[in-house]
């Protein structure tokens, strides 16, 4: 019993720090938890405005950021999906111990990652290059010298003109929408943290007392999520059917304290992972602005964005639901 009390005291002492950290992380929700369709629409609007902005195409390159040989492009953009997949997996894996069925959740996560990667590869490695190849012409002094062979054309010092759907625009939008969707689980995570903090502050709430043996009743656990719910019915339904809530409802009182302890062990890892995905989203938005200003025609960019948004919607709003992968 004494060892249990010592263990409880250690993690309960960290609750105020956890609550403060979660409160600061909530700042990101205005950026990360925007509905996907609003995000896609805003992206199309911004890209269109920047593309039509007079003199935007005359802005000089900042080699460290905007050139094709920049570190940003070579290290991050060219491996953009790998970075996104890594961020997605780290954030999701860090939350797995809070799931009632970690193995089942792991399988669903792996299948989502696989299907997302297949869609990404199909567009960026197969379809887009094929369209560029079959619509291309090799020009020398504005005279067509050959068709379709881009590598030979560029190697000969000629210009290759084609309809090149923006892979950068597709990738950045696809990555951001994916990360934002997977980060929706942070709503439940932060609601749980807020509830744990409230129980810790109020000795009469669910027998939670930082001076004694902190516990959480099933009734309190079931009501935790109500303290920070989104306004839309879609998000409310998601949270109401979440594995976290089902887990809390199923826990006997003797097990709930273990859930609290698990949460407190995870929160530093989850917090770092969440900040990481937020920073990555900001970086992808910066890359999209660079692409908009310096590369591709408006139609090539808008088509890339539209395909990305449509692919995301097909996966997350239809296929993953149909296959029960969420």
Q: What is the pLDDT along the chain (326 residues), one digit of tens a residue?
A: 333 333 344 566 677 777 787 788 878 877 888 889 999 999 999 998 888 875 556 667 666 677 777 788 888 888 999 999 999 899 888 888 877 788 998 999 999 999 999 999 999 999 999 898 888 888 877 777 776 677 788 777 778 888 889 999 999 999 999 999 998 888 778 777 777 776 666 545 444 333 334 444 444 444 443 333 333 334 433 433 344 444 444 455 556 677 777 788 888 888 888 889 999 999 999 989 888 888 888 899 999 999 999 999 999 999 999 999 98
With beta carbons less than 8 A apart as the criterion, state whether 111 and 323 touch. Answer: yes
Is the residue at 163 inside a domain?
A: no
* Distance between CA atoms of residues 308 and 310, nearest Å: 5
How many domains in the chain?
A: 1
> Largest Cα–Cα distance in the chain?
86
Is the residue at 51 inside a domain?
A: no
* Distance between CA atoms of residues 165 and 154, nearest Å: 18
Is the residue at 21 inside a domain?
A: yes
Is the residue at 147 inside a domain?
A: no
Among 176, 230, 163, CA closest to 42? 176
Alpha carbon of 216 to those of 22, 212, 223, 251, 281: distances in Å? 20, 13, 11, 10, 36
63's tokens:
């080699």
Backbone angles phi, psi at 161, to 5 degrees: -110, 125
The Cα angle at residue 160 between residues 310 and 157, in degrees rounded to 5: 145
The Cα angle at residue 254 between residues 1 and 268, in degrees rounded to 5: 80
Q: What is the pTM of this model?
A: 0.79
Is the residue at 164 inside a domain?
A: no
* Distance between CA atoms of residues 207 and 298, nearest Å: 61
- Quote the domain boundaries for residue 87: 2-31+71-122+170-322
The string of DSSP codes covering 120-162 is HHIIIIIIHHHHHHHT-EEEETTEEEEES-HHHHHHTT-EEE-
Is the residue at 318 inside a domain?
A: yes
Is the residue at 226 inside a domain?
A: yes
Is the residue at 47 inside a domain?
A: no
Burial environment of residue 206 by CB neighbours within 10 A (0 to 12, 13 to 18, 19 or more): buried
């Amino acid at each position: 019993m004494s060892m249990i009390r010592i263990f409880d005291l250690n993690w309960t002492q960290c609750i105020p720090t956890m609550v403060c950290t979660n409160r600061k992380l909530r700042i990101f929700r205005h950026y990360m938890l925007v509905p996907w369709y609003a995000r896609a629409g805003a992206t199309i609007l911004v890209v269109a405005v920047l593309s039509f902005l007079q003199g935007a195409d005359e802005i000089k390159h900042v080699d460290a950021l905007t050139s094709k040989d920049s570190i940003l492009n070579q290290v991050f953009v060219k491996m953009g999906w790998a970075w996104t997949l890594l961020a997605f997996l780290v954030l999701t894996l860090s939350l797995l111990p809070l799931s009632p069925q970690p193995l089942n959740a792991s399988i669903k996560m792996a299948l989502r990652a696989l299907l997302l990667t297949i869609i990404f590869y199909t567009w960026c490695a197969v379809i887009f290059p094929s369209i560029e190849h079959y619509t291309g012409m090799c020009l020398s002094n504005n005279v067509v010298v050959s068709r379709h062979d881009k590598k030979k054309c560029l190697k000969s010092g000629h210009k290759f003109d084609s309809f090149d759907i923006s892979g950068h625009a597709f990738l950045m939008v696809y990555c951001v929408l994916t990360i934002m969707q997977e980060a929706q689980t942070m709503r439940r995570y932060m609601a749980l943290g807020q509830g744990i903090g409230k129980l810790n502050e109020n000795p009469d709430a669910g027998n939670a007392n930082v001076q004694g043996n902190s516990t959480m009743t099933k009734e309190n656990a079931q009501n935790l999520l109500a303290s920070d719910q989104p306004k839309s019915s879609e998000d409310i339904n998601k949270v109401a059917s979440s594995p976290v809530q089902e887990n809390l409802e199923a826990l006997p009182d003797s097990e709930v304290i273990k859930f609290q302890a698990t949460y407190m062990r995870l929160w530093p890892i989850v917090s770092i992972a969440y900040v990481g995905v937020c920073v990555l989203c900001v970086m992808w938005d910066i890359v999209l602005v660079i692409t908009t200003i310096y590369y591709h025609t408006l139609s090539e960019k808008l088509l890339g964005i539209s395909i990305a948004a449509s692919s995301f919607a097909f996966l997350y709003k239809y296929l993953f639901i149909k296959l029960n992968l969420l």
